[in-house]
Chains A and B, each alone.
Chain A
Amino acid sequence: MKKEDTVKLISSDGFEFIVDKEAAMVSQTIRNMLTSPGSFAERQHGEVTFPEISTTILEKICQYFYWHLEFA
């Protein structure tokens, strides 16, 4: 997996989930974050922090992303 195709999603506990950009873009919010015209920090570093989302939840979310890509 190339570096450019991935984003890092960080949960409140500090867990880092590295997923494909395509998967992450399933979420409109993350999509806006990454394609916004401004030069926000997320885009620059390629990581998004979620201080209010726990690890277990974030894990489920990532699974949902991939399910969505494959079956929806």
Chain B
Amino acid sequence: MSNKRKSVLQIEPYKRRIIPDQEYSDKTWKILEHAIHQIYNHNAIGLNFEELYRNAYNMVLYKFGQKLYSGLVSTVTSHLKEMAISVEIAEEGSFLEELIRKWNDHSKSLQMIRDIMRYMEMTYIPSNKKMPIYELGLKLWTENVIYSNQIRTRLSNTLLKLLSRERAGEEVNSELIKNITKMLMDLGHSVYGQVFETPLLQASSEFYRAESQKLIERCNCGDYLKNVERLINEETDRVNHYLDHESKREITNVLVKEMIENHMLRLIHMENSGLVNMLCDDKYEGLSRMYNLFGRVTDGHLKIREVMSSHIRESGKELVTDLERLKDPVEFVQRLLDERDKYGKIVNLAFNNDKLFQIALNSSFKLFINLNPCSPEYISLFVDDKLRNGLKGVSEDDVEITLDKVMTLFQYLQEKDMFEKYYKQHLAKRLLSGKTVSDDAEKSLIVKLKTECGYQFTSSLEVMLRDMKTSLDTMQGLYASHSELVDGPTLNVMVQTTGFWPTQSSVTCNLPAEISALCEKFRSYYLGNHTGRRLSWLTNMGMAELKATFGEGQRHELIVSTFQMCVLMLFNNADMLTYREIELATEIPTLDLKRCLQSLALVKGRNVLRKEPMSKDVNENDEFFVNDNFSSKSYMVKIGTVAQKKSEPETLETWQRVELDRKLQIDASIVRIMKSRKKIYHHNLIAEVTKQLQSRFLANPTDVKKRIESLIERDILERDDSDREQYRYVA
């Protein structure tokens, strides 16, 4: 206060009614302590929030925060100790309920205390780095109640007991369990882990180990898997109900490990119901279950793949080496297709179209198909059969499907050029005899082959088809321009471009007069249209339709080969002819003539000629007459040539042709590579060549070496002077 008598305005400080000293703080604290007691004793009704808040505020303001905080801690602790005792003395059945009730009380009280002491929480605690009230409350609870000696173990055991009862199928109070676990989770992950999770995992793994032992003794593979699935679902439900998500993962791992991983091999190899049996019996459900369950285990899928691959390979090998089956190529390939379908379906339906499984399937098939060297030929025969008559009346989509399936088999072949050779031969026969069921089907198959193997493969096939069409056009042109020919015998000429059609030796014979005149007309017409070309007649491949009248007036139409036609036409002018006369007149080579006469005279039901003497073979001095007594039920009679079944020499011939082709291919490939690389190491060259030729056939390194040697001889390659392992291209 100023002493001078100046009229200075003084601003008096607030008249403090409160003197902050020890006595004041004790008094205030007493009030607060009393309030806390009330709160914990459920007597909080009627407490004056404002007053308590003000008191706590004042304590902190006057720097008694320390006292407040420690007082709080001790009061709460003492109450918690009381609570712990009451929980301990609870009976068996109501232990958990009591615990939960006390926990709820404590939580509520804690909230109220926190609200009251908000000022302290906002200012004193952060600046002094103390634990916030809520956390403090949890910690105290944990220390005093949960970790108190009696309660802790009892809690774990009770929980586990409840869970095991539920696993055994009893009804338990899942609400209660959920609340307990929630409390534990609120208390912190380590508490949860120690008190609950770790013992739970332990108990679970023991339980499931025992379960799995029991089940595996009793059930077969399929049932066992069903049970495992059921257990997994139950456990996941249970976990969703009242466990933490982290636990969910742990628990399923435990389950999976005990029930599946430990028994995986045993399940796969189980007699009468294991993986192999399921594959054979098309048990899609069981297989997909196994796939899903084993997927949870590392290497599970690997094991399944291994067993499946080896099984496919085994059964495939059996199929391919079964001599009985091999007698009928069409059957054989059909079986292969069926097997492929079956396993394809299995991978699709049961294994979820898993890429790795597809790969395993394909490689196994590739392996055993190539074990049989006749596979390319048989596949070609199968296609031949289908295109001749198997696909008659089948819808376009089905045709596509069948051809696609054949293509998958084709992709497995290593020696695709063998297939090409055989296919060309069969195609030629089909086209020439007009036996193909549908041009569209042929074309679509060629397109598929082109996409698979490239243009080179199918170029000749396409030319063959084109030739057919061109010939048709030519014939139409011929008849259009020479209208006088319409009355005479109808001629149908198929012009083959040399080199694209499978080579047959061209055999000529003397055609009857009418026919040869017609042929000449055709020749002049054709050469008039296309200059600079040469035509040679392949009479050994032709066919003819003859109208015949026999002695008793029977009229028949005979379908015969060109040679047979020549022979029969001779009988227009003579009643009897000897072998020699026929030979002279027709100039047909001996072997063919003999076969021709055999088919005309000696085949029952088709003997339009009579032979004297009636011996089995045709000799030089035999005489032939027209068989006036010939009879047949149908008007049209087909007289085939006595079949020359694909004999050994022919197979050998085809194989040799393929070999030759391969040599040329290897040469071409080597030269291509050398031109671009100029210099290359020996082993690199072999690797490159094999890679290039992979799509056609598997190149043998010794063969490649031989071709390299021959190229060196021809001065196209040379060994590098400095490094004997390298080759150089000679420009």
**B335 at interface by CB-CB < 8 Å:** no
CB atoms of B53 and A41 under 8 A apart: no
Q: How far does the Cβ of B566 sit from chain A's closest Cβ, in whole Å?
A: 117
**B405 at interface by CB-CB < 8 Å:** no
Number of interface residues of A (CB under 8 A): 18
Number of A-B contacts (CB under 8 A): 50
CB atoms of B111 and A40 under 8 A apart: no
Contact residues, A39-72 vs B (CB, 8 A): 39-44, 48-52
Interface residues as binary, B41-71 with A (CB distance below 8 Å gives 1, 0 otherwise): 0001111111101100000000000000000
CB atoms of A41 and B47 under 8 A apart: yes
**B108 at interface by CB-CB < 8 Å:** yes
Q: How far does the Cβ of B592 sit from chain A's closest Cβ, in whole Å?
A: 113
Given A29-B53, A32-B118, also A42-B39 (CB < 8 A): no
Which residues of chain A come closer than 8 Å to B557, judged between CB atoms?
none
Given A36-B111, A37-B108, A38-B39, also A50-B50 (CB < 8 A): yes
Given A29-B118, A44-B45, also A37-B111 (CB < 8 A): yes
CB atoms of A41 and B46 under 8 A apart: yes
Q: How far is the CA of A38 from the CA of B47 in the complex (A)?
A: 9
Closest A residue to B108 by CB, please name it: A37
Q: How far is the CA of A50 from the CA of B54 in the complex (A)?
A: 9
Given A29-B118, A32-B118, A33-B115, also A40-B48 (CB < 8 A): yes
Number of interface residues of B (CB under 8 A): 17
Which residues of chain A come closer than 8 Å to B658, judged between CB atoms?
none
CB atoms of A40 and B44 under 8 A apart: yes
CB atoms of B112 and A42 under 8 A apart: no
A sample of 18 more A-B contacts (CB under 8 A), given A33-B49, A40-B49, is A28-B118, A29-B53, A32-B49, A33-B50, A36-B49, A36-B115, A38-B47, A38-B112, A39-B44, A39-B45, A40-B48, A41-B45, A43-B49, A44-B46, A48-B50, A49-B50, A50-B50, A51-B51
CB atoms of B39 and A41 under 8 A apart: no
Which residues of chain B come closer than 8 Å to A51, judged between CB atoms?
51
Which residues of chain B come closer than 8 Å to A38, judged between CB atoms?
39, 44, 47, 108-109, 111-112, 115
Q: How far is the CA of A42 from the CA of B51 in the complex (A)?
A: 11
Closest B residue to A47 by CB, please name it: B50
Q: How far is the CA of A32 from the CA of B57 in the complex (A)?
A: 15
Closest A residue to B47 by CB, please name it: A40
- Which residues of B are at the interface with A, using a C-beta cutoff of 8 A? 39, 44-51, 53-54, 108-109, 111-112, 115, 118
Interface residues of chain B: helix, strand, loop or mixed (majority): helix
Q: How far is the CA of A31 from the CA of B662 in the complex (A)?
A: 95
CB atoms of A32 and B115 under 8 A apart: yes
Q: How far does the Cβ of A12 sit from chain B's closest Cβ, in whole Å?
A: 11
Closest A residue to B44 by CB, please name it: A38
Q: How far does the Cβ of A10 sit from chain B's closest Cβ, in whole Å?
A: 10
Q: How far does the Cβ of A54 sit from chain B's closest Cβ, in whole Å?
A: 11
| Residue from B50, B54, B115 having most chain A Cβ neighbours under 10 A | B50
CB atoms of A42 and B115 under 8 A apart: no
Q: How far does the Cβ of B116 sit from chain A's closest Cβ, in whole Å?
A: 8
CB atoms of A37 and B50 under 8 A apart: no
CB atoms of B49 and A42 under 8 A apart: yes
Which residues of chain A come closer than 8 Å to B53, judged between CB atoms?
29, 33
Closest B residue to A49 by CB, please name it: B50
Which residues of chain A come closer than 8 Å to B115, judged between CB atoms?
32-33, 36, 38
Could you give 29 example pairs across A and B, Cβ below 8 Å? A29-B53, A32-B115, A32-B118, A33-B49, A33-B50, A36-B111, A37-B111, A37-B112, A38-B44, A38-B108, A38-B109, A38-B111, A38-B112, A38-B115, A39-B44, A39-B45, A40-B47, A40-B48, A41-B46, A41-B47, A41-B48, A42-B49, A44-B45, A44-B46, A48-B50, A49-B48, A49-B50, A50-B50, A51-B51
Which residues of chain B come closer than 8 Å to A50, judged between CB atoms?
50
Q: How far is the CA of A40 from the CA of B112 in the complex (A)?
A: 9
Q: How far is the CA of A51 from the CA of B53 in the complex (A)?
A: 12
Q: How far does the Cβ of B133 sit from chain A's closest Cβ, in whole Å?
A: 13
CB atoms of A42 and B111 under 8 A apart: no
Q: How far is the CA of A37 from the CA of B109 in the complex (A)?
A: 8
Q: How far does the Cβ of B209 sit from chain A's closest Cβ, in whole Å?
A: 47
Task: Choose one: A28, A36, A42; the contact of B48 (CB below 8 Å).
Answer: A42
Which residues of chain B come closer than 8 Å to A40, judged between CB atoms?
44, 47-49, 112
Q: How far does the Cβ of A26 sit from chain B's closest Cβ, in whole Å?
A: 16
Q: How far does the Cβ of A30 sit from chain B's closest Cβ, in whole Å?
A: 9
Q: How far is the CA of A47 from the CA of B47 in the complex (A)?
A: 13
Q: How far is the CA of A25 from the CA of B45 in the complex (A)?
A: 22
Q: How far does the Cβ of B394 sit from chain A's closest Cβ, in whole Å?
A: 80
Q: How far is the CA of A12 from the CA of B108 in the complex (A)?
A: 31
